[in-house]
Amino acid sequence: MSKHDSIAAAGAVYYLFGATGDLARRKLFPALFSLYKEGKLAEDFAVIGLARRPRTNEQFREDLYESIVEFSRNKADDKQLWDKFAEHFEYMSLDINNVDGFRELNNLTEKLDAKFNIPGNRLFYLALAPDLFGPVSFNLRDGGLLGSKGWHRLVIEKPFGYDLQSAQKLNEQLSQVFKEEEIFRIDHYLGKEMVQNIEVIRFANAFFEPLWNNKHIANVQITLSETVGVEERGGYYDKSGALRDMVQNHMLQMLAMIAMEPPSRLHPEDIRDEKVKALRSLRPYTTSEEINRNVIRGQYTEGALKSKSLTGYRQEESVNSESSTETYFAARVFVDNFRWAGVPFYIRTGKRLPVKTTEVVIEFKNVPDNVLFARRHDLSPNLLVIRVNPMEGIYIKINAKKPGENNVVQPVSMEFCQSCMIGLNTPEAYERLIYDAARGESTYFTRWDEVAQAWSFVDRIAETWREGSESLQFYPAGSWGPEKTDELLASDGFHWWPVNGQDEDNVIWISGSPK
């Protein structure tokens, strides 16, 4: 058996709806190319790009090439390989609302099945606005595209609805055509290497597994910070805001992976069962008083980052000049179950913050204070930091004796910097997720009950905001968000740990520092 035979996904036709869009260009084309170059797509596949605007196959392949030159981690420097790859791509102009176009698409499919010896499998990737998900599904069915002898799967992008009600409606539409196990809801954070690593760090280490509870963990901090503003996405973002754009999906998914119970088997359904149980245990905030005490919403005003001046959110193009949409969200949330009772999870996300980073900090409780060292020294708590993005790795802070001094304790740290490893060109999230969908591996896709549970948590907050009893806090672009966010932790005796190892000056490194 060749290397290709052992790792390649089953042959299929990939229908890329939204093929002229931003996501296809920046993420999906490069992902398909890397999968091909690394042998994860064999020769029995075809990609049909679909959108309304006219394109010839040649123009489409040029777009493909440009996208790979600009965005791919793998270079298209082997002409022979490139030509072979590009040959699998065809373009068809199609309006989603026109069912006749889908019949024509069926004819093209049959032609490609025969050309590339494809066994009838179909993967429909909807890189489209969510209001088109229902119409596409119905027209796929009515146009005869689901009657083939192989499997068919639907991959859909976020946002999955605007609130629980719209998500339910969307789900009802999809489920008239596809079974739940055929629907792959993308949350691209679940495709990130270090998010997938959370399970391994938790369940494969005798160091951590016994300590992973309220007896030993003081608090958990999750930061998803971005330096970018809303850019040209104002039309979408101004209706969505940070709560719907980042918290309902990425943030709560990461929280669920940190908080969930160990699954009995490493089977997708068992893992997703545990995640949904964790989401169900989130303490619902039901009164505006609870929300105001535990939740902060902010919006950036003009400011500066690295000496570059930045406009405020309300001055961004395609944003309402009186918008009260939040570009920042922070909260103290509780997972009300036996494992986590009393442990605050502090979560924050925002645009126009000082650094781009995704990090999870687990702060452990100190040793009992009747122990000699805890009494005599101001001990720094032990930390486990899972660095997701852009640095990938694990950082651990512990206490040790200061060399040459008696009874003096010094924090020391150990770092595993995965992204510093030379030659390690790890797959991007979209590569993993497309590959998984093509193999029918659904662990890192969100199941309907998880999505619904996350919406019901988020909806309560959004409803209170709508009633207007909260105050929107403003923060200058380039700062760490509204000042009140620090008070959230200070009132519990904690503080945010600096991200990206920025507090490391007072720490002795046991192994290589990232600096």
Ligand X SMILES: O=C1O[C@H](COP(=O)(O)O)[C@@H](O)[C@H](O)[C@H]1O
Ligand Y SMILES: NC(=O)C1=CN([C@@H]2O[C@H](COP(=O)(O)OP(=O)(O)OC[C@H]3O[C@@H](n4cnc5c(N)ncnc54)[C@H](OP(=O)(O)O)[C@@H]3O)[C@@H](O)[C@H]2O)C=CC1
CB contact set of 187 (below 8 Å; sequence gap of 6+)? 158, 249, 250, 253, 444, 445, 446
The one catalytic residue among 216, 250, 267, 377? 250
Contact by Cβ (8 Å): 429, 422? no
Q: Which of 8, 20, 40, 212 binds ligand Y (CB under 6 A)?
A: 20
Distance in angstroms (rounded) separating the CA atoms of residues 155 and 123: 7
Tokens of 151: 């499997």
Contact by Cβ (8 Å): 272, 180? no
Q: Verify binding: residue 127, ligand Y, rule CB under 6 A.
A: yes
Q: Verify binding: residue 112, ligand Y, rule CB under 6 A.
A: no
Distance in angstroms (rounded) separating the CA atoms of residues 328 and 483: 12
22 is an annotated ligand-binding site residue: yes
Contact by Cβ (8 Å): 393, 192? no
348 is an annotated ligand-binding site residue: no
10 Å CB burial of residue 407 (0-12, 13-18, 19+) is exposed
Q: Which of 226, 261, 302, 503 binds ligand X (CB under 6 A)?
A: 226
Distance in angstroms (rounded) separating the CA atoms of residues 207 and 188: 29
| Nearest residue relative to ligand X (C-beta) | 245
> Out of ligand X, ligand Y, none, which partner does residue 51 contact, by CB within 5 to 8 A per kind?
ligand Y
> Out of ligand Y, ligand X, none, which partner does residue 226 contact, by CB within 5 to 8 A per kind?
ligand X
- The number of C-alpha atoms within 13 Å of 461 and in the hemisphere containing its C-beta is 27
Q: Which helix (H) or strand (E) holds 98?
A: none
Q: Verify binding: residue 389, ligand X, rule CB under 6 A.
A: yes
Residues 49-88 touching ligand Y, rule: CB under 6 A, are 51-53
Q: What are residue 433's DSSP bridge partners?
A: none
My answer on whether omega of the bond before 159 falls inside 30° of 0, hence cis, is: yes
**CB of 90: closest distance to ligand Y in angstroms?**
16
Contact by Cβ (8 Å): 28, 434? yes
List the one residue out of 50, 37, 45, 48 whose CA is nearest residue 12. 45
* Nearer to ligand Y among residue 26 and residue 339 (C-beta): 26
204 is an annotated ligand-binding site residue: no
Contact by Cβ (8 Å): 4, 403? no
Q: Verify binding: residue 175, ligand X, rule CB under 6 A.
A: no
Cα 20 to Cα 10, 23, 334, distances in angstroms: 26, 9, 42
**CB of 408: closest distance to ligand Y in angstroms?**
50
21 is an annotated ligand-binding site residue: yes
Residues 129-148 touching ligand Y, rule: CB under 6 A, are 129-130
> Out of ligand X, ligand Y, none, which partner does residue 245 contact, by CB within 5 to 8 A per kind?
ligand X
* Nearer to ligand Y among residue 44 and residue 187 (C-beta): 187
Binding pattern to ligand X, positions 235-274, x when CB under 6 A?
----------x-----------------------------
158 is an annotated ligand-binding site residue: yes
20 is an annotated ligand-binding site residue: yes
Q: What are residue 301's DSSP bridge partners?
A: 476
437 is an annotated ligand-binding site residue: no
Q: Verify binding: residue 426, ligand X, rule CB under 6 A.
A: no
**CB of 357: closest distance to ligand X in angstroms?**
9
**CB of 171: closest distance to ligand X in angstroms?**
20
> Out of ligand X, ligand Y, none, which partner does residue 41 contact, by CB within 5 to 8 A per kind?
none
- Residue 114 carries which side chain, given as an amino acid letter? A
356 is an annotated ligand-binding site residue: yes
> Out of ligand X, ligand Y, none, which partner does residue 96 contact, by CB within 5 to 8 A per kind?
ligand Y
* Nearer to ligand Y among residue 129 and residue 371 (C-beta): 129
Distance in angstroms (rounded) separating the CA atoms of residues 369 and 374: 5
* Nearer to ligand Y among residue 132 and residue 398 (C-beta): 132
Alpha helices in 153-251 (DSSP H): 164-175, 193-203, 234-242
CB contact set of 324 (below 8 Å; sequence gap of 6+)? 299, 472
Q: Which stretch binds ligand Y (CB under 6 A): 127-135, 162-170, 290-298, 384-392?
A: 127-135
303 is an annotated ligand-binding site residue: no
Q: What are residue 125's DSSP bridge partners?
A: 16, 155
Contact by Cβ (8 Å): 185, 446? yes
Going by the DSSP 8-state scheme, the letter that residue 282 receives in this structure is: B
> Out of ligand X, ligand Y, none, which partner does residue 134 contact, by CB within 5 to 8 A per kind?
none
Catalytic residue at 216?
Answer: no
Q: Which stretch binds ligand Y (CB under 6 A): 67-75, 139-147, 156-164, 394-402?
A: 156-164
**CB of 389: closest distance to ligand X in angstroms?**
6
User: Annotated binding residues for NADP(+), as ranges?
Assistant: 18-25, 52, 95-96, 158
Q: Among all residues, which ones are annotated catalytic?
A: 250
Q: Which residues bind ligand X (CB under 6 A)?
A: 226, 245, 358, 389
Q: Which residues bind ligand Y (CB under 6 A)?
A: 18-23, 51-53, 94-97, 127-130, 157-159
User: Annotated binding residues for substrate, as ranges?
Assistant: 188, 192, 226, 245, 351, 356
